[in-house]
Amino acid sequence: MNVLGMFARHPTPGKTKTRLAATIGDHAAVELYAAFVEDLLLRCGDLADSFVAAVTPDDANTRDWFSERLPNNAQLWFQPDSGLGGRIEWFFREAIQQPGYKAVLIGSDSPDMPDAIIESAFQELDGCDVVIAPANDGGFVLIGLKDPAAAAELFTDVVWSAPTTLLDTLRAARRHQLSVNLLQPWYDIDTVENLGTLMALQQCKGSGAAKCEATSRVLSKHLATLGQRQDTK
């Protein structure tokens, strides 16, 4: 059984993509993030036997927003009130119910991550304990496990959202004698420069990037504004 999970949050001004919002404004950042999530929901349900949207915060607005957009075969889980490491550990503990299960977790900041990276994660888990797709900021955009006990061992001493996040995770894996396979790197969208990369890859045939129709529509809508904001810096 292959279980694919995605961490996401309800798009809320002032709490969503704050680094990006500092440059492009709260309204545009919220619209873009909502489009990221919609693009990922549209295709993630077809990439595993089971798909879970693990969301936050745990309230009626979040439930209603995601329920309207979930594919038919998806489950909606609410993340616990914990740090990121604790929430990742929780996901794997819930997702890997018995031997033979493999679970892969992605975020919602990489809407154009190629399907091939996700598919290869499940394949690579046949021969190792942990799979990771590195991010360009020192973290990772995907992590996969087949033993929930490994999650408790991996994330205790990781510094999150830091240039050393991936390195910390690899060091923890080495300490606990967990074998790791690294997959093709990808990137999170946190800055206007990252948006430029996404736009370029969407227009380049053969880039490998997944198509993001909702995100592309929102970017087209805000393209002139984004350029003006950059010109004034």
The bridge status of strand 130-134 relative to strand 140-145 is: antiparallel
Q: How far is CA 93 from CA 79, 85, 150, 195, 223, in A?
A: 12, 12, 9, 34, 42
The listed CATH number (3.40.50.150, 3.40.50.300, 1.10.10.10, 3.90.550.10) that belongs to domain 2-231: 3.90.550.10
State the CB neighbour count (10 A cutoff) for residue 92: 26
Give 121-149 pLDDT, tens digit per residue.
999 999 999 999 999 999 999 999 999 99
Give 86-113 pLDDT, tens digit per residue.
999 999 999 999 999 999 999 999 999 9
Band (230; pLDDT cuts 50, 70, 90): very low
Give 28-77 pLDDT, tens digit per residue.
999 999 999 999 999 998 999 999 999 999 999 999 999 999 988 899 99
- Annotate 131-158 with b (16+ C-beta within 10 A) or e (fewer): bbbbbebebbbbbbbbbbebbebbbeeb
DSSP 91-130: HHHHH--STT-EEEEE-SS-TT--HHHHHHHHHHTTS-SE
Rounded to the nearest 5°, which phi and psi values hold at 19? -65, -45
- For residue 57, the Cα-to-chain-centroid distance in whole angstroms is 16
The arithmetic mean of pLDDT across residues 14-23, rounded, is 90
